[in-house]
Amino acid sequence: MQIAYRARDITEAHIVAGLLNAHGIEAHVGGHYLQGAMGEIGTAGFSNVHVEDDDLYRARELVREYEAGGHAVIATDPAEDKPDFYARWFLLALAIVAVFLLNAY
């Protein structure tokens, strides 16, 4: 196992580990039991994300993209961003029905 990322704290380590797991890289977070020993011991480099040796290069590439802003890491399909679109149409239809019901009374 190699260290792919040295996190500031346990929470960030789990975020990065989740990102790597989402991309098919098995990641483990170390430093759980050291986190509260001296307060913010995570800043001392004890919160690390470990990956297998074979996945190290790919994991570090994903971490680099994460540190650059994270926008390039998650490739979303435009078809998956439709909940807002449907919600707007639903609210418009609901408003039209409300106007008809108010005019009916």
Q: Which fold has domain 2-75?
A: Alpha-Beta Plaits (3.30.70)
Beta bridge partners of 51: 2, 27
Domain boundaries, the chain: 2-75
Q: Between 10 and 98, where is the model more confident?
A: 98
Return the structure tokens found at 51.
């990956």
Q: What is the mean pLDDT of the chain?
A: 78
Percent of the chain with pLDDT over 90: 23
pTM of the model: 0.58
**Cβ-based neighbours of 1, under 8 Å, separated by 6 or more:** 28, 50, 51, 52, 53
pLDDT tens sequence across 31-82: 776 655 555 554 556 788 999 989 889 999 998 988 888 554 444 455 555 5
- For 21, how many CA atoms within 13 A lie in the half-sphere containing its CB? 11
Radius of gyration of the chain (CA): 22
For the sheet with 2-6, list strands across it: 2-6, 48-51, 27-30
Between 103 and 77, where is the model more confident?
103
pLDDT at 7: 84
- Determine what percent of the chain is predicted with pLDDT higher than 70: 72
Which one has a higher pLDDT value, 41 or 87? Answer: 87
Inter-residue contact 76 to 43 (CB < 8 Å): no
